[in-house]
Amino acid sequence: MTGITTTRLADGRELMYFDDDGHFPDAAGRSATLAGTPDQRDLPGRSAPGELRFDALTGEWVAVAAHRQARTHLPPADQCPICPTTPANPSEIPAATYDVAVFENRFPSLGPELGLIPDAPSWGTAGPAVGRCEVVSFTPEHTGSFSGLSEARARTVVEAWAHRTEALSNLPGIRQVFPFENRGADIGVTLHHPHGQIYAYPYVTPRAATLGAAARRFYDGADGRQTLTGSLLKAERNDGSRMVHEGRNFSAYVPFAARWPLEIHLVPHRQVPDLAALSGTEKDELAHVYLDLLKRLDALYPTPTPYISAWHQAPLDDVLRPASYLHLQLTSPRRAADKLKYLAGSEAAMGAFINDTTPETVAQRLREVTVPPSPDSHAAVRPQPEGARA
């Protein structure tokens, strides 16, 4: 069972350590050690939140977060803020080593304050950018990527996502929880260290609202309250030409109308609203299948493939939530070994996508690539020597 230890950073931000199952036999001693490893930095107090402004032209909220201009940008390895702390690099993570760490972002787009936003906005409506943004560090190792983790480590990350989804969903004013990973400089990452993020929004995002509305329309019109995502999964499995993986609890496919050159949807066979609702058995399989998909992406070309891994979870909305269905949308703009798809006029201005690949061909290539094995359990962990802690 994953061990969880919660502590605080020097400026009051929450930090949680998630340990691989069985990695530390003395769980109580491990928790005491981590909790007793304080952040010794002299940090300034947390800044005030940014601003949320309502765009009356589209009916959408925009976060204005000018303080993020000062955030860390692609630092050298010896100055990485999410590597374990050393005397030369007092980082965001005070422990000398860890498995998975989750902490409040020092430069959040949303938060640190929580609260409600106006329910009848109009032109000129603005207020604090309430909500919460967290960073999820997948490993203490500065190099590598999620696809290089052991299955034990991937399972710990899944547990962290589920834990944080449940906790964030219960915070005042939160209406949507979104775990995601931006991988690669071509996507716009600001840290090379393998990590992801979780945003807890005070509103339902435009994309989630669109997906939720379509799901609700189908749900209201279907016999037996079938779900839209479930029906699409069934259709893709019956067709077979775009399937990438079929398991006991999860299946993955390239969607019929894929927008991106590389796009995979990973869907549980059972309708659940979010990661927190998965069973232990489902989480076990998810860790395995997700690693497999990422390895397939990286095996397509000689160099690592940039991607966005987006977990679509049900909004915390009484109308949209019953019809919603957890699923992953894994996308990449890479259309060839040396070419990226840029969102130009049609996509960026009109939202009208034009795909440069065919979903059937992409699915076949993903099925046929050779997938390397995962490293042994805990192989991604390289404990630092005693005394390395600041």
**Residues with catalytic roles:** 195
Q: Which residues face 89 on adjacent strands?
A: 86
Task: State the SS3 of 47-80.
Answer: CCCCEEEEECCCCEEEEECHHHHHCCCCCCHHHC
Count CB neighbours of 120 within 10 A: 5
What the block records as the tokens of 293 is 């998909």
Dihedral-angle region of residue 131 (phi above 0 means left; psi in -120 to 50 means alpha; beta otherwise) = left
Report in angstroms the alpha-carbon separations of 208 from 53, 216, 234, 344. 19, 12, 22, 23
Terminal C-alpha separation, the chain? 29
Is residue 137 helix, strand or coil?
A: strand
Count CB neighbours of 180 within 10 A: 16
What the block records as the tokens of 339 is 């070419």
Q: Residue length, the chain?
A: 390
CA 82 to chain centre: 16
| Continuous segment of H or E residues that includes residue 211 | helix 206-221
Check residue 327 and report its DSSP letter.
E
